Structure 1
Amino acid sequence: MEKNTVVCLGELLIDFVPQSNGLPLSQVDTFHRAAGGAPANVAAAVAKLGGKSRFIGKVGRDPFGEFLRTALEEAGVEPALTITDDARTGLAFVSLREDGERDFVFFRSPAADMLLRKEDVEDKWLRDAAIFHFGSVSLIAEPCRTATLDAARRARAYGALVSYDPNVRLPLWTNADFARRTILDQLPFADLVKVSEDEIGFLYGGAGIEEGARLMLGLGPRCVVVTLGAAGCRVFTQTGDVTVPGVSVEAVDTTGAGDGFVGGLLWKLANAHIDASGLDETLAEPAFAVEALRFANAVGALATTKRGAIPALPARSEVERKLSGEA
C-alpha cells in the first residue's frame, strides 16, 4: 500500500474572528465564523496544497458540528469524525491587534473534541498514514489524552512519521506547570517537532533557541523546527541546523499561520516519501531543507493575509506565485 496520507488528530472548533482589527473582545460588534482548530488547520493546509489528508476528531450533534464537517470536505480533507450528544462543538472568540496578532477566549467545558476516546479511532484511519500529526491541546484532559497517544503509537507501528506541535495555549490548562510537564512528556513520541521561539522559552525556563532545540532532540525527536514569525524558521537535527528567512506579506490575521507552516512542511515530506528513518538526514541536507522550509514559510505567511484559519489557507498555485515573485 502506498502511504501518502497526512493524518491529523485533535481539536476542531469554530473561530469567531472580528471583522476589524484593533479592538478588545469587549468592544467587538461583528464576528465572522470560520472553521479552525490547530490539527484541523494542518489537515486543510495539506489538502489545499493538493495532498491527501484526513482529520480524526469529535464534534457535537449541533449546527456547528455540521458546519465543520462541511468545511473540512470543502477544503478537500477526509473527515473521520464521531459525533457526541454529551457536549457541544467547541468555540473560540478571537480579538485581533492592528498587526494581526491575537487574543483568545475559549468555550470548552467540555467541548466535544475533548471526549474523543481511543475506541473512536478506527484502525483504517491510521493504516495508510505517511505522517501522523497531533498537538498539545488534545493532551489537556481525558479521555482525549489517551486517545491521542494511543493513536500516535498505533500510527507509528504502521510506519507513520509522527509530527507534534506543542502549541501552548495556557488559558486552556489548569496551571502552567502541568502544561509544561505534559507537553514535554510527549516529545519521545515524536519524530518531528514544530515549536515557536516563545514556546521554547516557556518550556525551558527562558532558554534560547539553540539550547531548547538541543534539549528537545535529546528526548528523542529526529528534528526540531523552530518558527520565528516573520523572520522565518530554523531546523535543528543531530548533525546541524539550517536557517531559512521568512516571506514578506501584509498580515491581517495570524490565526492558523503556524498550522499553515506545518501543513506546508508535512506536504513536502509526504510528497517526497520521507519516512522517519530518513527525516534527520533529509532535513540536514541544506538544499532540501531550504526549499521545503521556504515553501512552508510561504504557506504560513499567505495564511495571515485573510481572516480566519482554514478559509485563509492558500492553494499550491498561490504559494508558487508568491515564491516566484520573491525569487
Structure 2
Amino acid sequence: MHGSTGTEPASKAPVGGGDTAAPPPPALVIGEALVDVLSGSGGPCRSHPGGSPANVALGLGRLGHPVRLATRVGSDHLGWSLRGHLERSGVELSPGSVVDAPTSTATAVLDAMGAADYTFDITWALSATVEGSLRDGPPAHVHTGSIATALSPGADQVRHAVRALRASATVSYDPNLRPLLLRSADRERERVAELVALSDVVKASEDDLGWLHPGDSIDVTAARWARSGPALVVVTQGAAGARAWWRHGHRDVPPVPLEVTDTVGAGDAFMAGLVSRLLQAGLLGGGPGDEAAKARAALCAATDTDRLPAVLGDALTVAARVAALTCARQGADPPTAAELVV
C-alpha cells in the first residue's frame, strides 16, 4: 500500500513533548508475533519476523513511541530471533509472553508483483501472566487486530481486554482478515462489528471489506463503520492508495511513487504511522484520570465536519509514506523516525 507525500513528514521532536515533560504512558499492542517465511519470485526462501500486531508495535517503536507487546512467542531459536528483532526497536514484551512451545509461522508466497499469499502454522492464546499484566499501566493507547482477534482461544481474551481497557485508553483495530484461518464471513461479521464499534480508529484493506460484505461497495461498508463508533475509518487499496471515512465525508490518499520490493507488512506500517501521528497530535492517547476521554473527544471534534482537518490529512500522509518506505524493502521492515524525515 502506498500513500501521499503532500505535506511535511513527521516532526523530529521527541514523542511526548519537551525535555521537562513526563514520559508518556506506553502504547499497548495485543496480538500475534510470528515468523514470516517468504518464497517465490524466483529467489530463495527468506525468513523475517512478523505478525500483524507485532509489526505495528515494531513500527511504533521505530517511530519513537514507548510500546509494549502482549503476545505469545516460543522459546525456540525462531522465538529468540523474533524477540531480539522487537527489542532492538524498543518493543517491550509483556511478562509471560515467552512460552515453552514452538514459535508460530506464516509462509508467504510472493507473486511477480510482490504481493503475498499466506499459509499459517499458528497457535494463539495469552498466558495467565500476560492477562494479568494487561491491568498494569494503564496504557495510553491499545491496538489489536488480525489473527489475535479471530483465532480461539485467544480471541476472546483480546476482546475482553479491549472492553476493559478502553475506559482509560484509546483503541485502534485492523481486522487484517485471514480467510484460511477463519469461519465463514457470515459468522465473522458480528465479531468484527463489535471490535469496530469499540474502536476510535479502524484500518482495513479493501480485501477485508470485500470478503466480509461481498454484496456491498467499500464506500457503503466503510461509511457504515464510521457511524458505528470509530471517528476515523481508513481502507487501504494497494497501489491505488487509500481512502479515509469519517461521519460526514471521505477523502482519498493518493499513492507514493516508490519502487516496490514486496508488500509484506505495508498495511501494518500504515497503521503504525497513522497511530503515531495521531498520538503526537493528542487525538489518541490516555493514561490516569480522564486523558483518554479528552483525546477521544478531540478526535471526535476533529471529524465533526465535512472537510477533514489538516491535522488528520497530515496523519494520513505520514501513514502512507511509512507504508511506502516499507514496500521499498524486503519483509515487514518499517522505517525509523529519522528515515521518515529524510
Q: TM-score range by the shorter chain?
A: 0.7 to 0.9
| Residues 1:260 and 1:10: Cα distance change in structure 2 (over 3 Å) | same
3-state SS of the aligned residue for 2:219? Answer: helix
- Asked whether 1:247 is paired with 2:253, we answer no
Is there any run of 5+ residues in structure 1 with no aligned partner, and where?
322-327
Relative contact order, higher structure (CA 8 A, sep 6+): 2
1:91 aligns with 2:112: no
Q: Deviations over 1:251-304 (max 9, x none)?
A: 111010000000001111111222222223335643112211111000001111
TM-score (norm: length of structure 2): 0.83
SS at match of 1:254: coil
The counterpart of 1:153, out of the listed 160, 163, 167, is 163
Match of 1:63 in 2: 77
The structure 1 residue matched to 2:331, chosen from 298, 302, 308, is 308
Q: How does 1:198-217 map to 2 (within 5 A)?
A: 198-217=207-226
Q: Which moved more, 1:56-65 or 1:198-207?
A: 198-207
Question: Which one has the bigger helix percentage?
Answer: 1
Q: Which residue of 1 aligns with 2:238?
A: 229
Mapped contact 1:238–1:280 kept (Cα < 8 A): no
Give the gaps of 5 or more residues in structure 2: 1-21, 284-294
Map of 1:1-327 to 2, 5 A cutoff?
A: 3-18=24-39, 21-23=40-42, 30-80=44-94, 81-85=96-100, 87-108=101-122, 111=123, 114-117=124-127, 120-123=130-133, 127-157=137-167, 159-274=168-283, 275-283=295-303, 285-309=308-332, 312-321=333-342
Q: Deviation of residue 2 (structure 1)?
A: 6.0
2: CA distance, partners of 1:13 / 1:7? 18
Deviation at 1:181, TM superposition (A): 3.5
* Aligned-partner residue type, residue 163 of structure 1: S
| Superposition deviation, residue 3 in structure 1 | 4.0
Instruction: Choose 296-305 or 145-154, whichever is displaced more.
Output: 145-154
CA–CA distance in 1 between the matches of 2:137 and 2:216? 38
- Measured in 2, the distance between the counterparts of 1:95 and 1:206 equals 29
Q: What do you get for the CA RMSD once the two structures are aligned?
A: 2.1
2:12 aligned residue: none
Query: Partner letter of residue 307 of structure 1?
Result: Q
**2: distance between equivalents of 1:301 and 1:281?**
29
Secondary structure at the counterpart of residue 148 of structure 1: helix
Local SS of the residue matching 1:262: helix
> The residue matched to 1:273 in structure 2 has which SS?
coil
Is the alpha carbon distance of 1:118 and 1:235 closer, same or farther for their aligned partners in structure 2, counting shifts above 3 Å?
A: farther
C-alpha separation in 1, matches of 2:169 and 2:309: 24
Q: Which amino acid aligns with 2:84?
A: T
**1:176-215 CA distance string (max 9 Å, x none):** 3333333233222211111112222222223222211121
- Distance change in 2, residues 1:63/1:231 (3 Å): same
CA contact (8 A) 2:25 2:137 kept: no
Offset from partner CA, 1:133-192 (integer Å, 9 cap, x none): 0003112333311221122123212x2111010101101114333333332332222111
- May I ask how many residue pairs the two structures share in their alignment? 306
1:225–1:233 contact (8 Å) kept in structure 2? yes
Deviation at 1:9, TM superposition (A): 0.7
How many Å separate the matches in 2 of 1:278 and 1:51? 20
Would the alpha carbon gap of residues 299 and 49 (structure 1) be closer, same or farther in structure 2, given more than 3 Å must change?
same
